[in-house]
Amino acid sequence: MALLRINNVSKHFGGLVANRDVSFDVDQDEVVGLIGPNGAGKTTLFNCIAGFYPVTSGTVVFDGQDITPLRDFQVARMGLARTFQIFQASGDLKVVENVMVGSFMRTGSRGSARRAALEVMEFLGIAETAGEMMTELPVAAQKRVALATALASDPKLLLLDEVGAGLNPSEIDGLIALLQRIHTERGVALLLTEHVLEMVMKLSHRVIVLESGQKIAEGEPAQVVKDPEVVRAYLGDHYVKRQKEGGDA
C-alpha cells in the first residue's frame, strides 16, 4: 500500500485551475521529485496535500486514511510534515524553541519536546546554534532549522518545497547528503519540489512533472529528462545539450 496516494486532485482559485486531475503515489521507501515551470502548481499541490488548502475535487489518502477533509495541524499529527517555500523566521524565538514547535506535534511535555528537538538538531549538525536567535542566523542555517522543525515532528513523509533555493553549490552538496541521511537513517519518505535539478536527479527514485497544473510525465529521473514533452515544457534544449556534452545532471 502506498504511503501517500493522490487521486485526481484539482484545485481552482476562482477561474484559475492551479491543479487539474493530478494522481500519483509515494511509497514509504521512496524519494519522489516534483518538478515543472514556475506557476505549474507544485506549491499548491503541497498545500492541498498538507491540509493548508481544501481541494476542489479529488482525494488524498495518507497512511491508509482519507485525509482530504483534514486541516494542516491534523495532517501534521498523523506524520506528514512540510517545509515552506518562503520561510519566515519567528523573530523572538531561539533556534531550539523554533524546532520544539515541531516536536510538540508528538508530545505535550516541554522536557521531551526539548530533548527531541536537540536530538534532531544534533543529527542535522546544528546543535551549537540552539541558543541563538532565529533572526541572527544566515539564510542557509535558517533553512536547516526549518528542516529540523519539520523533522522534529517525527514524520513518515516530508514535503520539501524548494529547500535548495538560494544555496551555493557546496551548500547544495551538503543538503543532498543530509536529505539522503534523513531518508535512509530515519526512514522518512520524501516528496520534493525543486528547481535545482541536480538535487532532484541525485535524490529521486521517481520524478513527476507538472505543467499548467497537470501531470505531463512520471518515471525514473534519467527517463523523464529525455522525454520530449518535459524538454519542451520545462528543461529546454539547453539542459539536453549539456547532458550530451557530458555535463552534470
Ligand X SMILES: Nc1ncnc2c1ncn2[C@@H]1O[C@H](COP(=O)(O)OP(=O)(O)OP(=O)(O)O)[C@@H](O)[C@H]1O
Residue 16's contacts (CB-CB under 8 Å, 6 or more residues apart) are: none
- Size of the chain, expressed as the number of residues it contains: 249
181 binds, among ligand X, Mg ion, none (CB under 5 to 8 A by kind): none
41 binds, among Mg ion, ligand X, none (CB under 5 to 8 A by kind): ligand X
Closest distance of CB 144 from Mg ion, Å: 20
User: Hey, what's the torsion of the CAs at 125, 129, 135, 140, to 10 degrees?
Assistant: -20
16 binds, among ligand X, Mg ion, none (CB under 5 to 8 A by kind): ligand X
What CA–CA distances, in Å, run from 115 to 45, 91, 151, 183, 226? 33, 22, 13, 21, 46
39 binds, among ligand X, Mg ion, none (CB under 5 to 8 A by kind): ligand X
Closer to ligand X by Cβ: residue 114 or 195: 195
Closest distance of CB 192 from ligand X, Å: 12
16 burial class (0-12, 13-18, 19+ CB within 10 angstroms)? exposed
160: cell is 520539501
Closer to ligand X by Cβ: residue 129 or 234: 234
Cell 491534523 sits on residue? 74
Closest distance of CB 14 from ligand X, Å: 7
Position 44 contacts Mg ion (CB under 5 A): no
Task: Please tell me whether residue 219 adopts helix, strand or coil conformation.
Answer: strand
Closest distance of CB 94 from ligand X, Å: 30
Closer to ligand X by Cβ: residue 13 or 139: 13
Give contact residues for ligand X (rule: CB under 6 A).
13, 16, 18, 36, 38-44, 85
Closer to ligand X by Cβ: residue 80 or 208: 208
Among 43, 47, 98, 142, binds Mg ion (CB under 5 A): 43
What CA–CA distances, in Å, run from 69 to 23, 58, 163? 17, 11, 27
Binding site for Mg ion (CB under 5 A): 42-43, 85
